[in-house]
DNA sequence: CTGAAAGCGCTTACAG
DNA sequence: CTGAAAGCGCTTACAG
């Protein structure tokens, strides 16, 4: 039973297009056209619709629009984690680009295994137009199999095994290679590596760069300790490296967070950086320049990775295509600060 | 024109409930019931539906579900920014709680003025069940006027002017009061304040704490310089404070980021912290303990703020009520590190 | 237990 | 220029 026509009190339910049409005494089609500026609408009706919409504080229901238009103007972002400076920077890059393109962001994180990732992906259907994917801890085949073929996607730091999915990659190999070569050129002869988690692509690539840099010219000494990309694991790895008989004279941690953990271990052991041991990281997260001594590292252009990934996705959304095949590698850059004892430094 | 029945190749459009129904030779109602486990379904049909759904890799369309069920299981998060450790920690708290409650997160940031915030809010209709709101740079009245009355909301660090909206607040006043009292007790007599942006509630409250702490017992010296909660503004404020005739012997920056900027200015001026000037911040973002010297600050429990805000929102969603009125203040906590020269310290 | 039908709130050919 | 109607993909009383 509706309240009598013209009742003063509107229902507390948000106004729908029907309410606007009723108040303006036009059809819902006209309301839709007037509000969206599509198809000519007479000046008077236009005005009536505008007034009615304003009075009712009408806002279109996005789910209904998404259903009929097959467009959500939203992008799903699946990350392994949402925490820490790395992801903060990444999301920042994505967010900025999305805002610029008028896209919203639906974020989802920490899907530990394949089935959780599958669930997260399934939950996105009908809420997003496309997906940005970073699940370095999963077998690259998993997301490829999971993805509905109709869903545009861009992979971040995941080498699609069949090379079919558009992908942006950090030049982990090149960055690590350059860093270790730099350390060698500084005169360090016992350079140890702290890796990331087993099977993580970034970590594997960085390790490959380390190995190759030690090959030519061949290094007599090398040592690899496993880390987990966490501060704690960096600390533990640092202690392990200091414990042995033959201490490294330089430690290359596969990311900055571990380098910082390692730094704590070194300082705590009463050693000095870079006096006793040089230290380097990877990523160049903001904190890297604030630790003491400021950390020499490899800049990964995290924000750029986010921005370009979103731009790539937005491009395939616009074309309503999947934009298959494109693969882009983002260059890295050596950032020399004091933790490796160079004269050159940057703050 | 449909392809002949039983055509081998499914269309590339994602499967709908109709496709499943057709393949399983049942009605869509049965598919819905079978897949959702609602209403009894015969064992055989259940099985047929399951098989069909699996074969078609069927996933329900969330927009359609949202439309009919009036539930999106998504929460909107409107923040002034998404960048930096403060927001990273906040989002982390929100994300964790959301995951636990089975809610998705639609994030939106940097709506500079009221109309942008209004737009962001409008865009959320039909995509979210409720909203977490933090817009400290806006007049508190703005969001109150903007909000559809039917939309559950929780305000974070925004004192709702009519006290009607559920709100979580950091105890900015108490934290600042405690910090300045602590500095006084350490013997500092010329304590300067670097504020946040004008009109920002957090900043105003912290300033109030500063003033009140200097009142009893009355301090002969006080000085306030405006900052913008950014590192750059902290740096500039630091230079300004050092330039004058009567230098402060302690500087309380209204957030950690400014404290770090200020630290750079102090060190660059050839002064020592805490030897020449003590320094304190607010928030206790992760980086605070990594700068040199480690920063004395006020812990704001950022992650907790996020978690509790989401929990409060989830509670009103469950009850399908707006949960009006509740207001909770989160306690702060002094974190004494080396930047103020205490013997006590924490890392 | 099962299906036909109504309806969520929109947009868009299709007629007039 | 305007409106009646179909339809987006679902769920859920309502009959049987």
- Note the pLDDT tens digit of each residue in A34-86: 999 988 889 999 999 999 999 999 999 999 999 999 999 999 999 988 888 89
> For residues A63 and A126, what is the distance between their CA atoms, to the nearest angstrom?
9
> For residues B43 and B294, what is the distance between their CA atoms, to the nearest angstrom?
65
Q: What are phi and psi of B123, to 5 degrees?
A: -65, -15
A180 or B289, which is more confident?
A180
> For residues B331 and B326, what is the distance between their CA atoms, to the nearest angstrom?
16
Interface test with chain A among B62, B131, B294, by most A beta carbons within 10 Å: B62
Cβ-Cβ contacts under 8 Å, A108 against chain B: 104-105
> For residues B59 and A121, what is the distance between their CA atoms, to the nearest angstrom?
10
The reply to whether the CB atom of residue B69 sits less than 7 A from any atom in nucleic acid chain D is: yes
> For residues A145 and A139, what is the distance between their CA atoms, to the nearest angstrom?
10
The reply to whether the CB atom of residue A41 sits less than 7 A from any atom in nucleic acid chain D is: yes
User: Which of A95, A125, A318, A80 minimizes the C-alpha distance to B80?
Assistant: A95
Cis (ω within 30 of 0) for the bond into A217?
yes
Provide the 3-class DSSP secondary structure of residue A163: coil
Tally of CA atoms within 13 A in the half-sphere of A217 that contains its CB: 5
Q: Give, in order, the Cα–Cα distances in Å from A313 to each of A103, A108, A320, B170.
A: 11, 17, 10, 38
User: Which of B15, B189, B154, B178 minimizes the C-alpha distance to B78?
Assistant: B154
Listed in order, strand segments (DSSP E) in B221-285 are: 223-225, 250-253, 278-280
User: Which of A170, A177, A175 minimizes the C-alpha distance to A200?
Assistant: A170
Average pLDDT along chain A:
88
Instruction: With both helix axes pointing from N to C terminus, report the angle between B84-101 and B302-318 in degrees, rounded to the nearest 10.
Output: 30
> For residues B127 and B75, what is the distance between their CA atoms, to the nearest angstrom?
8
Give chain B's end-to-end CA distance (angstroms, integer). 71
User: Which of B188, B281, B167, B180 minimizes the C-alpha distance to B234?
Assistant: B281
Residues in chain A: 347
- Which residue from B minimizes the CA distance to A66? B63
Let me know: does B259 contact B290? Beta carbons within 8 Å. Answer: no
User: Which of B85, B308, B301 minimizes the C-alpha distance to B174?
Assistant: B301
Q: Exposed, middle or buried, B45 (CB in 10 Å: 0-12/13-18/19+)?
A: middle
Would the CB atoms of B14 and A125 count as touching at under 8 Å? yes
Residue B161 is predicted with a pLDDT of: 65
Would the CB atoms of A92 and B83 count as touching at under 8 Å? yes
Residue A167 is predicted with a pLDDT of: 92
- Only one residue has tokens 């190759």, namely A212
Chain C nucleotides covered by protein, CB below 7 Å: 1-5, 7-13
Minimum CA–C1' distance nucleotide for B17: D9
Residue A8 is predicted with a pLDDT of: 29
Query: Does the pLDDT value for residue A143 go beyond 80?
Result: no
Question: b/e for B249-287, b at 16 or more Cβ within 10 A?
Answer: bbbbbbbbbbbbbbbbbbeeeeeebbeebbbbbbbbbbb
Residue A282 is predicted with a pLDDT of: 98
Q: Exposed, middle or buried, B64 (CB in 10 Å: 0-12/13-18/19+)?
A: middle
Residue B344 is predicted with a pLDDT of: 46
Residue B8 is predicted with a pLDDT of: 29
> For residues A74 and A125, what is the distance between their CA atoms, to the nearest angstrom?
11
DSSP state of A128: B
Would the CB atoms of A148 and B14 count as touching at under 8 Å? yes
Q: What is the dihedral of CA A62, A66, A67, A69, to 10 degrees?
A: 130
Let me know: does A124 contact A131? Beta carbons within 8 Å. Answer: yes
Residue B324 is predicted with a pLDDT of: 61
Let me know: does A19 contact A56? Beta carbons within 8 Å. Answer: yes
pLDDT band for A163, please (50, 70, 90 cuts).
low
> For residues B48 and B31, what is the distance between their CA atoms, to the nearest angstrom?
9
Structure tokens, B62? 């969330």
Let me know: does B319 contact B284? Beta carbons within 8 Å. Answer: no
Let me know: does A199 contact A137? Beta carbons within 8 Å. Answer: yes
The average pLDDT across A302-322 equals 90
Block means of pLDDT (10 residues each) for chain B, 347 residues, are: 33 84 95 92 92 94 95 93 89 94 90 80 91 83 73 88 82 97 94 95 96 90 95 95 91 97 93 94 92 93 96 88 77 95 52
Q: What are phi and psi of A201, to 5 degrees?
A: -60, -50
Structure tokens, B192? 């300067």
User: Which of B292, B288, B274, B300 minimizes the C-alpha distance to B183?
Assistant: B274
Provide the 3-class DSSP secondary structure of residue A179: helix
Would the CB atoms of A85 and B88 count as touching at under 8 Å? yes
Name which of A60, A92, A260 is nearest B290 (Cβ-Cβ): A260
Residue B320 is predicted with a pLDDT of: 67
User: Which of A131, A106, A135 minimizes the C-alpha distance to A323?
Assistant: A131
């Amino acid at each position: 039973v509706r309240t009598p026509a013209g009742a003063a009190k509107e229902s507390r339910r948000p106004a729908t297009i029907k309410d606007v049409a009723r108040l303006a005494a036009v059809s819902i089609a006209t309301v839709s056209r007037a509000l969206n500026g599509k198809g000519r609408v007479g000046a008077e009706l236009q005005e009536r619709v505008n007034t009615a919409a304003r009075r009712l504080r009408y806002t279109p229901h996005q789910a209904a629009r998404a259903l009929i238009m097959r467009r959500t103007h939203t992008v799903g972002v699946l990350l392994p984690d949402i925490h820490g400076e790395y992801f903060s920077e990444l999301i920042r890059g994505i967010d900025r680009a999305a805002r610029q393109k008028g896209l919203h962001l639906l974020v989802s994180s920490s899907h530990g295994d394949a089935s959780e990732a599958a669930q997260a992906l399934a939950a996105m259907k009908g809420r997003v137009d496309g997906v940005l994917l970073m699940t370095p801890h999963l077998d690259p085949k998993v997301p490829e199999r999971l993805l509905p073929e109709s869903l545009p996607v861009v992979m971040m730091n995941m080498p699609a095994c069949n090379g079919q999915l558009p992908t942006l990659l950090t030049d982990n190999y090149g960055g690590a290679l350059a860093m270790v070569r730099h350390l060698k050129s500084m005169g360090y002869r016992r350079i140890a590596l702290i890796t990331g988690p087993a099977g993580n692509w970034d970590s594997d690539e960085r390790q490959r760069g380390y190995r190759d840099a030690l090959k030519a010219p061949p290094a007599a000494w090398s040592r690899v300790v496993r880390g987990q990309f966490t501060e704690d694991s960096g600390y533990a790895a640092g202690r392990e490296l200091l414990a042995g008989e033959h201490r490294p004279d330089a430690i290359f941690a596969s990311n900055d967070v571990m380098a910082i953990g390692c730094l704590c271990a070194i300082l705590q052991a009463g050693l000095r950086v870079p006096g006793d041991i040089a230290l380097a990281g990877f990523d160049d997260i903001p904190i890297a320049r604030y630790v003491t001594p400021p950390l020499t590292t490899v800049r990964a252009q995290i924000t750029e990775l986010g921005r370009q990934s979103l731009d790539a996705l937005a491009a395939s959304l616009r074309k309503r295509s999947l934009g298959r095949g494109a693969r882009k590698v983002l260059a890295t850059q050596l950032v020399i600060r004091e933790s490796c004892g160079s004269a050159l430094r940057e703050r």
